[in-house]
Amino acid sequence: MRLQGQIAWITGAAQGLGEALAYRFAQEGCAGLALSDIQSEKLDAVAAAIQRQYPACSALCLPCDVRCEDAVAQTVQRIAHQLGRLDILVANAGVIHSAELTEMSLEQWQWQLEVNLTGYFLCAREAAKLMKPQGKGVIIQINSKSGLKGSYKNCAYAASKFGGIGLTQSIAMDLAPYGIRVNAVCPGNLLDSPMWQETLFTQYAHKWGLPEEAIRRYYEAQVPLGRGCTYDDVCNLVVFLASDEASYITGEAYRVAGGQL
Ligand SMILES: NC(=O)c1ccc[n+]([C@@H]2O[C@H](COP(=O)([O-])OP(=O)(O)OC[C@H]3O[C@@H](n4cnc5c(N)ncnc54)[C@H](O)[C@@H]3O)[C@@H](O)[C@H]2O)c1
């Protein structure tokens, strides 16, 4: 119960890591959860299931495209109106499309930059407007190990995530005088996530010229601890950073990648 009574907003919460974070935050005692995504039906089901399992936690389904300035501002207004305040933002919504530089279309480039970087900027900016008068708050971006080291045939994703580190470090300084901490968490490969299961195993089989069934072992072999990253691995660090135990930590980016650089 390390987040007892807290109000949190999680983007990209309809599936994958965002959904896992939402469950974990409810389990850790959050009093209110604002959940956003563009997949509104799935999001609604996640919010309803959490509400049933954790009746003490108000789980709101607030569909929102993080690229849209007006939608993000309206979502924060709804959080203020319905939950009264905002203690924690987890900017988790993210997308990836793997392609070699000369095959990366401008459209694919812009999509990844807009969701992964501009989306984070808009959510952090609007959340900070609510947090500043409170004199307290936590912003956590779900980044990637590709935000700290270049990634083969992933230039747009890596550029968007590198940008997220610069944004994290900079706004940590802007917001420190208001008691708001900003950090990034950089997971390794969540091999059981929909991102991998639905797209990356196929994209990476193409990228490395390997059969799809060989990809999992190929990626596990690059990790000193010998396995893929799990939702729990990431949630453990996010909960710590969101809690008061991390009250002297801001402007940092931490890998959760089993030793993989
Ligand atoms: N899966 C991995 O291996 C991995 C590794 C490192 C970092 N990450 C990061 O973790 C985060 C979550 O990834 P995941 O694996 O759960 O992926 P996912 O694709 O399962 O989930 C991402 C969610 O974001 C939502 N989303 C996409 N565009 C959006 C938009 N414009 N506005 C609002 N929501 C939008 C999607 O609908 C989806 O529900 C991402 O930021 C990703 O970059 C993932």
Mean confidence (pLDDT) of the chain: 97
Q: What is the pTM of this model?
A: 0.98
Residue 60 burial (C-beta neighbours within 10 Å; 0-12, 13-18, 19+): middle
The pLDDT value recorded for residue 244 is 97
Q: Which residues pair with 111 in a beta bridge?
A: none
Q: Which residues pair with 33 in a beta bridge?
A: 8, 59
- Is position 178 annotated as part of the catalytic site? no
- Pair (174, 199) in one structural domain: no
Q: Report residue 160's pLDDT band, with 50, 70 and 90 as the boundaries.
A: very high
Candidates 120, 157, 219, 231; catalytic one: 157
The pLDDT value recorded for residue 149 is 97
Record the tokens describing residue 167, joined without a space.
């944004």
- Pair (176, 198) in one structural domain: no
Residue with tokens 């710590």: 240
The pLDDT value recorded for residue 99 is 95
Query: How far does the centroid of ligand 1 lie from the alpha carbon of residue 258, in Å?
Result: 20
- Flag whether 143 is in a domain: yes
Q: Report residue 245's pLDDT band, with 50, 70 and 90 as the boundaries.
A: very high
The pLDDT value recorded for residue 202 is 93
Which of 17, 92, 126 to mutate to test ligand 1, by most ligand atoms within 8 A of the CB atom? Answer: 17
Cα torsion 33, 110, 230, 16 to 10°: value is: 50
Q: What Rg do the C-alpha atoms of the chain give, in angstroms?
A: 18
Looking at ligand 1, which residue's alpha carbon is closest to its atom 34? 37
Average pLDDT rounded to a whole number, residues 216-234: 97
Cα–Cα distance between 180 and 132 in angstroms, integer?
A: 7
Average pLDDT rounded to a whole number, residues 86-93: 98
- Pair (75, 182) in one structural domain: yes
The pLDDT value recorded for residue 59 is 98
Record the tokens describing residue 53, joined without a space.
């399992």
Q: Which residues pair with 186 in a beta bridge?
A: 255
Domain of residue 65: give its range.
7-188+230-256
Q: Report residue 135's pLDDT band, with 50, 70 and 90 as the boundaries.
A: very high
**Edge-to-edge order in the sheet of strand 7-11:** 58-61, 32-36, 7-11, 88-91, 137-142, 180-187, 253-256
- Pair (115, 235) in one structural domain: yes
Residue with tokens 């997971």: 187
Percentage of the chain exceeding pLDDT 90? 98
Average pLDDT rounded to a whole number, residues 4-13: 98
Query: How far does the centroid of ligand 1 lie from the alpha carbon of residue 14, in Å?
Result: 9
* DSSP reduced 3-state for 3: coil
Closest ligand 1 atom to Cα of 65 = 32
- Flag whether 2 is in a domain: no
How far lies 195's CA from each of 16, 112, 172, in Å? 8, 14, 29
Cα–Cα distance between 40 and 44 in angstroms, integer?
A: 6
Tally of domains in the chain? 2
Q: Report residue 246's pLDDT band, with 50, 70 and 90 as the boundaries.
A: very high
Cα–Cα distance between 253 and 148 in angstroms, integer?
A: 9
The pLDDT value recorded for residue 232 is 98
Q: What CATH number has the domain bearing residue 61?
A: 3.40.50.720
Query: How far does the centroid of ligand 1 lie from the alpha carbon of residue 177, in Å?
Result: 31
Record the tokens describing residue 79, joined without a space.
């959080």
Spell out which residues line ligand 1, taking CB within 6 angstroms: 11-12, 14-18, 37-39, 65-67, 92-95, 115, 119, 142, 144, 187, 189-190, 193-196
Record the tokens describing residue 143, joined without a space.
């980044």
Q: List pLDDT tens digits, range 10-42.
A: 999 999 999 999 999 999 999 999 999 999 999
- Pair (224, 234) in one structural domain: no
Average pLDDT rounded to a whole number, residues 57-78: 98
- Pair (216, 183) in one structural domain: no
